[in-house]
C-alpha cells in the first residue's frame, strides 16, 4: 500500500504538525523512532494510524517492571510432549517486516532494553541466542518506542546509549481547534460540546504540578464526549470521564467540578 492511499480501515488521527511526514521519512530511511509526550496525547493512536497507513503489521508491547528480554524475543514452550520455540512480538515484527511499538519503554528494565540495541543502529539485526539465529530486519521493519518525560527520574530515565540510537519526535496536547476536531472525528459529537470539553481540559491542565499529578488527556475528553452522546448529563459525564480520573482527593475533585459547572453554565 502506498502511504497516501485512502483506507477506511485506518484509525482516525488528526495531525497536529508534521509528525506524519517525519514518521514516513524515518520508516523509508530505516531509522528507529522515539516518541515522547504526556499520557493520553495520542502517541499510541498515531503509531496505529501510521502502521495501517503504511499497510504494515503492528506489534504493540505495554512495557512494565517485570518485562524480560524473553517476553520480547521469545522462549521455548513445552506442549504435546515436545519443546517448541515461540517467537515474541519483537521477533515476529522482524520476521514479518512490521512495526514493533514499545509503549512506555522506560518502564522496562534496562537489561531488557539492551536487546534493542542491534536493531536500533546500522546493523538492524536481532540475535536470538536460544535458537542460534541472527535475524536481519527487512527494509519495511521499524522499531518505535514511546515514553512520558513527565515521569522521568534517575531510576526511570532512558539510558543515553539507548536514546541516541533513535530519531525523536515530541508530542504534546493539540491546539484547541485541533483537539476539538479530534473529538468530533472520534465521537461525532456536537461542535459546541467539543469546544466546552476542550476548554475544561485546558483549564485543568493549568493546574498540573500544583494540584494534579497528570494533565487531563485527550483520551478522557473522548470518553466524556461518548457518555454525553449516549444521553448522560454533561456535568455528570465530566465528573466520571475526567475529574475522578485525575484525582482521588475529594476536595480537589470538588474544586475541579467548579470549573466544569462554570463551563456548562451551572
pLDDT at 163: 86
Domain boundaries along the sequence of the chain: 19-170, 176-263
CA–CA separation, 129 and 73 (whole Å): 10
- pTM of the shown model: 0.86
CA–CA separation, 145 and 147 (whole Å): 7
CA–CA separation, 231 and 228 (whole Å): 5
Q: Give the fold, CATH level 3, of 19-170.
A: Rossmann fold (3.40.50)
pLDDT in tens, the chain (266 residues): 333 444 447 899 999 899 999 999 999 999 999 999 988 899 999 999 999 999 999 999 999 989 999 999 999 898 777 888 999 999 999 999 999 999 999 888 877 888 999 999 999 999 998 899 999 999 999 999 999 887 554 456 777 888 899 999 999 999 999 999 999 999 999 999 999 999 999 999 988 767 788 889 999 999 999 999 999 999 999 999 999 999 999 999 999 999 999 999 87
pLDDT at 2: 37
Q: Are 47 and 171 in contact (CB under 8 A)?
A: no
Amino acid at each position: 500500500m502506498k502511504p497516501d492511499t485512502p483506507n477506511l480501515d485506518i484509525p482516525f488521527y488528526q495531525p497536529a504538525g508534521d509528525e506524519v511526514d517525519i514518521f514516513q521519512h524515518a520508516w523509508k530511511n530505516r531509522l528507529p523512532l522515539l516518541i515522547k509526550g504526556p499520557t493520553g496525547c495520542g502517541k499510541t493512536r498515531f503509531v496505529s494510524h501510521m502502521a495501517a497507513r503504511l499497510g504494515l503489521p503492528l506489534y504493540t508491547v505495554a512495557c512494565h517492571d517485570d518485562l524480560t528480554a524473553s517476553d520480547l524475543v521469545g522462549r521455548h514452550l513445552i506442549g504435546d510432549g515436545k519443546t517448541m520455540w515461540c517467537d515474541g512480538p519483537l521477533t515476529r515484527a522482524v520476521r514479518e517486516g512490521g512495526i514493533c511499538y514499545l509503549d512506555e519503554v522506560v518502564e522496562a528494565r534496562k537489561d531488557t532494553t539492551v536487546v534493542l540495541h542491534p536493531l536500533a543502529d546500522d546493523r538492524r539485526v536481532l540475535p536470538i541466542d536460544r535458537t542460534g539465529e541472527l535475524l536481519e530486519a527487512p527494509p519495511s521493519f521499524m522499531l518505535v518506542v514511546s515514553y512520558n518525560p513527565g515521569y522521568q527520574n534517575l531510576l526511570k530515565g532512558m539510558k543515553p546509549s539507548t536514546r541516541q540510537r533513535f530519531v525523536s519526535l515530541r508530542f504534546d496536547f493539540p491546539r484547541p481547534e485541533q483537539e476539538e476536531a479530534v473529538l468530533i472525528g472520534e465521537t461525532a459529537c456536537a461542535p459546541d460540546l467539543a469546544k466546552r470539553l476542550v476548554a475544561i481540559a485546558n483549564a485543568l491542565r493549568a493546574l498540573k504540578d500544583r494540584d494534579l499529578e497528570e494533565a487531563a488527556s485527550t483520551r478522557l475528553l473522548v470518553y466524556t464526549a461518548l457518555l454525553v452522546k449516549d444521553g448522560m448529563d454533561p456535568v455528570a459525564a465530566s465528573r466520571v470521564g475526567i475529574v475522578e480520573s485525575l484525582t482521588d482527593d475529594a476536595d480537589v475533585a470538588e474544586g475541579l467540578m467548579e470549573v466544569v459547572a462554570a463551563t456548562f453554565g451551572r
